[in-house]
Amino acid sequence: MAPVVKGELSDAEQKMLDAILKGSTAEIAALLKEPGVRVDCLDKTGMTPLQHAAFKGRADVCRLLLDNGADVNSNYHENDYSTLHFAALSGKVDVTNLVLEAGANVDHTNSVNRTASQMAAFVGQHDCVRAINNFFPKFELEKFTVPTGFEKEPKLPPVLLNPLYLLINSTNLNPVKVALFLKEHRDLVLESYKVCKVLDLVVECAMKSRSTNDVQAIKCHYFASIIRHANKSLKNSEDNLDAFVKSLAKGRDSDGFQEMQDRLVRQSLKEFPYPESQLLQTLVRQIAPMKIGDGSALSVLISGMYGPSFEDDTACTTCGETKAEKKCSACKCVNYCNQTCQKLHWPTHKKFCKILAVEQEKREAKQKEEEKRQKQKQAEMEAEMKAAKLTEATSSEETQTKGDNSAAAGGDNSQAGGSESKTEESDINGKESGEEKTTDNKTGEAVEGSAETS
């Protein structure tokens, strides 16, 4: 097979790259079918179509290219960036997970010796960092869908493979978000015994392997705890888990603190079967001194699992999902990712909405006043600068005028000095000539006297 050359693209391949940037998936699919079009063609920088799609965050195009045999570990980029690097830099968790599922190498480094996870952390794409660092490969679950030994049926029904895989690889640990996921995939709750048994086996493997993975173990145990609680809340097989989700989203009347969430997190850690875990001991030391309501056990758990992070002002108040774009229309103080989350939080929020609205108005008024003060201060500074410049210009003109006058006066004095010098010189010359004449007369008289004497 001839080596791939950077920048040698056919017209159809160039159209495909252009379509990845701003075209439709159908257009790209049609171009892939044209004769001579290579799915792994390279542009002049060494980027493949899959890497372009990953960088643009287009999950649909990435899936199409992967289905057509695109190489997820292509290594021709001029700066050694991999497809996973571009996916992580895009900030799209779904694209990052898609690339990981395709077998991307998480340890590959670029020209500055940084992995995809490190580059994502550098540009602030923390959700992608979590997705990479906590990735659980699908084949580790697939082995539970096949009967082994004397088993008549697999430990995990094949129909539950994908939803359980998505749950394990999710990075949002908020109990409401997990409960909403279980509501969409209710079979995980209906088959809770088998699902939790598989999760327990994953925990055991993570803790007893040569390289212990405390994070993966505690995470899977935490999900198993929520599934068990959801199953206990079922009234019948037709229950859609609405009551369970609402109970997790409900806050206390006094301060809105979501007490059931906090108790669920504490109970999950208390039941973790491996007390020798260093991560567990760290979490317990931080949570144990806190009374319920004084601090959030969920926040401690997230920090312990993923590392400390700054508070996200865009996170959904209900489910914790980042980049929530909607706000309460009344107080404009709380964020929601959709109407479902707003409805779930309203029974708690309505008790504090008016108070928050008043506080928000005060903050906005204070902010406007501060902005007005800053503008006024800026105007005063500009006026002072103008006055200083004007004073400086006036002073410069006066200095120049004085200099001119001094120069003119110096010229007059020079002329006067010249005439005085000449007068003094003539006087001196006159005196000298007079003295010479007197001397000559005296000399003549002396000569005459000496002649007479002779």
DSSP 26-77: HHHHHHHTSTT--TT---TT---HHHHHHHTT-HHHHHHHHHTT--TT----
Question: pLDDT for 316-346, tens place per residue?
Answer: 999 998 888 899 988 888 999 999 999 999 9
Mean pLDDT of 180-192: 95
Cβ atoms of 173 and 302 within 8 Å: the answer is yes
What is the b/e burial string over 378-412, where b = at least 16 CB atoms within 10 angstroms of the residue's CB?
eeeeeeeeeeeeeeeeeeeeeeeeeeeeeeeeeee
Q: How many CB atoms lie within 10 A of CB 330?
A: 14
What gap in Å lies between CA 72 and CA 41, rounded to an integer? 13
Q: Where are the domains of the chain?
A: 11-125, 139-309, 311-395
Identify the three-state secondary structure at position 343: helix
Asked whether residue 361 carries a pLDDT value surpassing 60, the answer given is yes
**Mean pLDDT computed over every residue of the chain:** 86
What are the angstrom distances between the C-alpha of 365 and each of 251, 331, 357, 368, 370?
29, 14, 12, 5, 8
Q: Between 439 and 169, where is the model more confident?
A: 169
Q: Between 394 and 52, where is the model more confident?
A: 52
What contacts 264, CB < 8 A, 6 or more positions away?
Answer: 175, 225, 226, 229, 248
Burial class for 134, CB neighbours closer than 10 Å (0-12, 13-18, 19+): middle
Cβ atoms of 220 and 141 within 8 Å: the answer is no
Count of residues making up the chain: 454
The superfamily in CATH containing domain 11-125 is: Ankyrin repeat-containing domain (1.25.40.20)
Mean pLDDT of 165-194: 94
The tokens for 112 are 């500055």
Q: Is the pTM of this model over 0.85?
A: no
